[in-house]
Amino acid sequence: MRFLDIIEKKKNKEVLSDQEIQFFIDGVTDESIPDYQISALLMAIRLNGMDEHETAKLAEAMMHSGDVIDLSDIEGIKSDKHSTGGVGDKTSLALGAMVAACGLKLAKMSGRGLGHTGGTLDKLESIEGFNIALSEEEFKKQVSEIGLAIIGQTGDLVPADKKLYALRDVTGTVDSIPLIASSIMSKKLASGSDTILLDVKYGEGAFMHTVEDAKKLARAMISIGKKLGKNTMAMITDMNQPLGNTIGNALEVKEAIETVKGEGPKDFTELCLTAGEIMLMQANKASNKKEARAMLEEAIKSGKAYEKLEKMVIYQGGNVEQIRNTDLLPQAKYKTDLESKEEGYIENIHSMGLGIAAMKLGAGREKKEDEINYGVGLKMNAKKGDYVKKGHILCRVYHDEPLSDEWIEDFYKTFTYKDQKVDPIPIVEEILD
């Protein structure tokens, strides 16, 4: 088989066979195909697409390019949840504790943040001593015993994806739904869970900017999951403003703790409860949404959800005193309140701009080698649709260095106002299965 023929075939909008896709991924993994030829095929896929079967086969071949975690010796249904990323997205921390308190087993492998979105692992590592590098045996033992573990990727998981992602990043082929879907699902499938819930975000602070594109991506990932025998569902959720009230690692951990105690922001709590309903029904722990929500609300009210979060921190070596007293989490040197210069209804809060602002404080990475400052970030005091007067505090900024005039000017550009009332958008747009 010649790789040039495969490039020609996709260039001419033809469907690749299973054998050709496997040959492609084998060549990526063992480095027998040069980068320039791989890049040519990636561009052909970006321009001409792939059908459902091709995309599923690509995900499956990538999944088997390295280790595949076997969770079958853990009793019960194992669940996983994946977010496509957004500003202020600390969902896994709160949701994991909630569903585990309802008897579900969440075995989750997460990533780090790059750019304007923070990664779950970075948030967890703002807890002193928290170990995200459990061995496969430790990971399985923890899931089995307490029903909840969140770690970084173990071993040699999906090496083909790492190579392809690096090439896509420098060849203008990131924005391809078959390539995005197969990249995400190969990692989820290799992680070994029985059910998968996808939180596909749309809007300015998300990877997919429109509802339509978010739905296309969600349907592509659901199709892959189903073709490979996994119960897969998706939520389409709004990211046209930050999720919850906080952006920044320790601040988001604190908000997740407040949420599992029933004291979290309305939008973030609703997202967690809706996701929890789906996950409990996927795992046959609840027969309908009403029953599932009642279970989740009871887990919060009784304190069981908070206890699960504590247990996960203890099991993974974290300083649990920082969970019991969040004032012990990393703190910034300075706190500065920024007040509204205008009066009116808030029409837009540009998530991307706020995510970048937080990154510039040190809450995120511009380059992979950048170090995270866990204590800095933003705590918002306004949401879309709120009426604010001049002097209303829009945000408290937690920072270690003085705020520059340019930073403050960019911050104010993230808000736009209107004279008429603005109706808030529901956090969950649609649920797809």
Tokens representing 75 are: 């009793």
Provide CB contacts within 8 A for 404, sequence distance 6+.
none
Region of 320 on the Ramachandran plot (φ > 0 left; ψ -120 to 50 alpha; else beta): alpha
Tokens representing 372 are: 């995270």
Asked if 298 contacts 306 with a C-beta cutoff of 8 angstroms, the reply is no
Is the Cα dihedral 299, 304, 307, 313 positive or negative? negative
Q: How many residues does the chain have?
A: 433
Tokens representing 335 are: 């706190």
Backbone angles phi, psi at 291, to 5 degrees: -65, -45
Backbone angles phi, psi at 2, to 5 degrees: -105, 130
Closest CA to 243 of 116, 79, 422, 433: 116
Eight-state DSSP code of residue 425 = P
Provide the annotated active-site residues. Answer: 82, 161, 168, 183, 187
Rounded CA-CA distance 233/433 in Å is 5
